Amino acid sequence: MLCYYIHNKIKMKTTTDKKYQHYFTKKVEDKEIRKIAGLFIEDDTDYELIDKECEGYDSETKEFLFTIKKKCFDNNIIENYDDIRLGYNTGRGGAGGIIDLEVMKKLYGEKSYKIVGKKKNGVLFKKKDGTYSKYIRKNPVKSNIIGFFDYQNYIKKDGINIQVRNIKTTRYTNAKTLNALKELTLSVDKKWSEIMPEYHQGKKDYLKEIGFKEHLYNTTLFSTITLNENLRCGLHQDGYNYANMAIMAVLGGEKGFEGGELYLPKYKLKLKLEPGDLILFKNKEWHTNAPLKDKKNSTRFSFVFYIRDRMVEFYDKTKDTEVSINKSYNEDLFIDYEKKAILLNVNGDKYNKYKKEITDYSKKNNLNIYRMSEKTSLNRRKFGDWEIRYIDKKELGLFKNPIFLKDIVENT
């Protein structure tokens, strides 16, 4: 674990021109900010507006705070916004903000609710027997996570339980959404590598060193995206982002928007982010945002790209152990149709007896295995000591270098 923590100390050097660099004085102490965590900033009259390209640093510690890049992306970089529209989520915690009972009633009907929490950011539902549920629902917001996420797991090493993180795809991860976000994901990663080339490359090298492969797209440093639509988030910190960074792209959808500025209350800064803008900022920096000026006629998408730090820690802790742990390895969320791949286009009972030959062949030649099916899924199914992904039979013609079962049998 020592190399893991040492590696996380790499300095965030940027290529930004010094004329865009500004130093800001801390105006509010952390202990005061924590008192209003989960709430909205309602009065920003004494906040300094930043409405141009800017790189911010703490005037006392000289630590990097954020970089804003303007007009990095065309609003049409996402061709069909319908492919990324997600449902309401009641699990965003403090980021969901104060409970909106009207939204709750629209989602769950006219039920009996009991608002709980010091900041009124949770509700309990009344059950049929008159008691309230123990499960606290947070404010329902259009904010969901796609890609990979970590779940708690334990292994024993020298008789001691070691906390690690089992890795799975989230329920909202699907081929349609991922493919719609492909170009944006690649563009955001490229921008990060241009802004912090040494830092970006250093992180990528470290992930390669420990065998980490759960990237959302196999040339990027992202495994996970938080996708928000018209979200006014409560004051919060992002947790467990690898490389200590949150990287957010903002797009305006079909309607565009006004408002939604990002607040950094510790420095009393109001950062204006318009469609096509990008911001990199320290993931532990307290932040919230302003409401949209006309929410009914606005569309503001914000995409936060990252790798969960605990997923990286999972790899670091298990790289030298012989304990077998399922990491749900899946590097092909975006399929590279140019790359050779094994396509199993027959029923399972016809190739089960060739499992060993198929898996040995795939390992020897570094190939992914796909099963052509009428029912697609990004989850993989156990296949001997390997896993296979189901994809639509319609994709068969897209592969440039397919390998079929008869080819494997003939060559083994």
pLDDT at 118 over 70: no
pLDDT at 277 over 50: yes
Domain regions of the chain by residue span:
2-87+148-318, 98-138, 341-410
- Over residues 120-129, the mean pLDDT reads 82
**CA-CA distances (angstroms) from residue 104 to 25, 120, 125, 135, 290?**
40, 14, 11, 15, 21
Return all residues near 310 (Cβ < 8 A) that are at least 6 apart: 150, 165, 240
The three-class DSSP label of residue 239 is coil
Q: Can you tell me the distance from the alpha carbon of 399 to that of 343, in angstroms, rounded to the nearest whole number?
A: 9
Least confident of 27-31, 251-255, 270-274, 407-411: 407-411
Specify whether the backbone of 230 is left (phi greater than 0), alpha (psi in -120 to 50) or beta: left
Specify whether the backbone of 205 is left (phi greater than 0), alpha (psi in -120 to 50) or beta: alpha
- Per-residue model confidence as pLDDT tens digits over 299-355: 999 999 998 888 888 777 777 665 555 555 445 566 778 889 999 886 666 787 888
C-alpha angle with apex 121: 119 to 123, nearest 5 degrees?
Answer: 125
CATH topology of domain 2-87+148-318: Jelly Rolls (2.60.120)
What percent of the chain is modeled with pLDDT above 70? 88
Phi and psi at residue 289, to the nearest 5°: -145, 160
Tell me which residue of 319, 294, 8 sits closest to 155, measured CA to CA: 319
**CA-CA distances (angstroms) from residue 225 to 74, 94, 124?**
19, 18, 29
- Over residues 128-133, the mean pLDDT reads 84
Ranges of H-type helices in 181-236? 182-195, 197-209
Q: Parallel, antiparallel, or unpaired for β 122-125 and 113-116?
A: antiparallel
Instruction: Give me the pLDDT at residue 3, please.
Output: 46
**CA-CA distances (angstroms) from residue 102 to 90, 98, 109, 291, 298?**
14, 12, 10, 17, 19
pLDDT at 16 over 60: yes
Using pLDDT thresholds of 50, 70 and 90, give the confidence band for residue 366.
confident
pLDDT at 217 over 50: yes
User: Contact at 8 Å (CB) between 213 and 307?
Assistant: no
Phi and psi at residue 397, to the nearest 5°: -70, -10
